[in-house]
Amino acid sequence: MWLNELSMTDRLYYRDSFLYDFDAEILELSGNPRPALVLDRTAFYPTSGGQIFDTGVVSTEYKRLNVTEVVDTEDGRVVHYLEAPLGDLTPGTRIHGQIDATRRRDHMQQHSGQHVLSAAFVRLFNQHTVSFHMGDDYCSIDLDTPTLTKDQVEQAESLANEVILENRPVDIRFVTRDEAASLGLRKIPVAERDELRIIDIREWDLSACGGTHVKQTGQIGCILLRKTERVRQGWRVEFVAGQRAVATARRDFTTLTESASLFSAHIYDVQQQVRKSLDEVRSLRKQREQSQEELAAAQAAAMLAETPESSGRKLVVRTFADRDITFLKLLAQKLTRLAPNVVTLLATTSPQPSLVFAQSAGQPNDMGALMKGTMSKLGGRGGGSNDMAQGGLTGAEGVKAALNSVAQSLHT
Ligand SMILES: [Zn+2]
């Protein structure tokens, strides 16, 4: 895709994370697969080291093109992907670049927040960060530790926020690999580069890192730790920093407030209210089951009493309009156990059209086969054993007629 093998990009963000505007010259262009260009110098950060790319605008006197993604190539180019076709741009064209400052500031808050937090976990519990992920909503670090308690999370959060409050300087330093070895870095990359870029949070953390960072820890604002979960390598800790932390806390508060208003309760009582409601639901469910049981028993007795015996057998056929299949099965069970000579064909048309066929133990029919036959006529699915079978339908049409037709077949 790129023809010139020597077009390395000068990364302006390496020296100044707060450089949002810059002038540059186009070195290479490509329209395939997406419009893209490589500049001689750039302030746009390409996705790398856990940090996601900058977006922004590249413009000439006549043109303004949105930069939608920025990537790092293995051979040292920073590729800017553009929304619109390149038009008359050519190598040598001078452009003005402008990155989305709000997005960049957010990324700096998250990334510097991560350095402060990772160092806090090391200092407090000797728990080392093995990976960092920055998403659009939240960030996470993976800690190399077999256990992580709620108390440890809260202590690390508290210490990290203290370091933010102390407003320590954050410096960018370039050192040789040998120098780095003597500095006691929290993290040294494996890449074989002679010069290392070090992010130095005064007397707190030294890490080799290519990311964009704040100038003072106070600019991180604050850090809020959220979900923790066990992962393959240890524990994942989700966090948000700066304005993201405020936005997240705002969203949490809104959710909690709306939940509280559903209960007409104070937000701090939501938990208790939810627990109370769940207990109520559980107890009502139990009561309902018992009522259903009693109702089925009473109804079965009444149905049997009003069904005449014919050829030594009672055939009970009934279609309900408002029972569920659980009740039909319960009723069938009661009916066939109340007497030894019962055959019953039950159906309900709503809420979910369903059929249940059953017979007392020892009766000679095959209810499973009858159900299968009926279902294939009605276009539903079902089956079962000799004594008990059930089926379900998408529509209630023809249910009554089908039941009558099965009843007829049993009479002959
Ligand atoms: Zn970093």
pLDDT in tens, 369-405: 999 999 998 899 999 999 999 999 988 888 888 899 9
Distance 211 CA to ligand 1 centre (A): 5
Strand-pair category, 56-59 with 64-72 = antiparallel
Mean pLDDT of 263-275: 95
Distance 341 CA to ligand 1 centre (A): 79
Q: Please list, in sequence order, all residues whose beta carbon lies within 8 angstroms of the beta carbon of residue 30, skipping any fewer than 6 positions away.
A: 1, 2, 36, 37
Mean pLDDT of 348-357: 93
Mean pLDDT of 127-155: 96
**Burial class of 66 by CB neighbour count within 10 A (0 to 12, 13 to 18, 19+):** middle
Distance 107 CA to ligand 1 centre (A): 11
Q: Is the pLDDT of residue 1 over 60?
A: no
Distance 234 CA to ligand 1 centre (A): 20
Distance 314 CA to ligand 1 centre (A): 80
Determine how many CB atoms are found less than 10 A away from the CB of residue 342: 24
In our burial notation (b when 16+ CB lie closer than 10 A, e otherwise), range 108-124 reads: bbbbbbbbbbbbbbbee
> Mean pLDDT across the chain, nearest whole number?
93
Q: In the beta sheet, which residues pair with residue 382? A: 391
**Between these two residues, 204 and 63, which has the higher pLDDT value?**
204
Can you give 277-345 as a three-state secondary structure string? HHHHHHHHHHHHHHHHHHHHHHHHHHHHHCCCCECCEEEEEEEECCCCHHHHHHHHHHHHHHCCCEEEE
The pLDDT of residue 397: 86
Mean pLDDT of 272-286: 96
Question: pTM for this one?
Answer: 0.78
Residues 217 and 281: their CA atoms lie apart, in Å, by 49
* Residue 259: both structure tokens together: 């939940």
pLDDT-above-70 percentage for the chain: 97
Q: Which long-range contacts does 81-88 make (Cβ < 8 Å, 24+ apart)?
A: 81/34, 81/35, 81/36, 82/34, 82/35, 82/36, 82/37, 82/58, 83/35, 84/35, 85/31, 85/35, 86/29, 86/31, 86/35, 86/37, 87/63
Q: Do the beta carbons of residue 349 and residue 320 sit within 8 Å?
A: yes
Peptide bond into 46 cis (omega under 30): no
Q: Is the pLDDT of residue 7 over 80?
A: no
pLDDT tens digits, one per residue of 283-307: 999 999 999 999 999 999 999 999 9
pLDDT-above-90 percentage for the chain: 80
Distance 115 CA to ligand 1 centre (A): 6
Residues 253 and 267: their CA atoms lie apart, in Å, by 9
Distance 157 CA to ligand 1 centre (A): 18
pLDDT tens digits, one per residue of 80-124: 999 988 888 899 999 999 999 999 999 999 999 999 999 999 999
The pLDDT of residue 74: 84
Distance 208 CA to ligand 1 centre (A): 7
Query: Considering only CA atoms, which of 17, 46, 43, 239 is closest in space to residue 134?
Result: 239
**Between these two residues, 75 and 190, which has the higher pLDDT value?**
75
Q: Is the pLDDT of residue 6 over 80?
A: no
**Burial class of 320 by CB neighbour count within 10 A (0 to 12, 13 to 18, 19+):** middle
Distance 97 CA to ligand 1 centre (A): 24
Q: Do the beta carbons of residue 80 and residue 98 sit within 8 Å?
A: no
The pLDDT of residue 84: 85
* 90-to-37, 44, 193, 323 alpha-carbon distances in Å: 10, 20, 33, 74
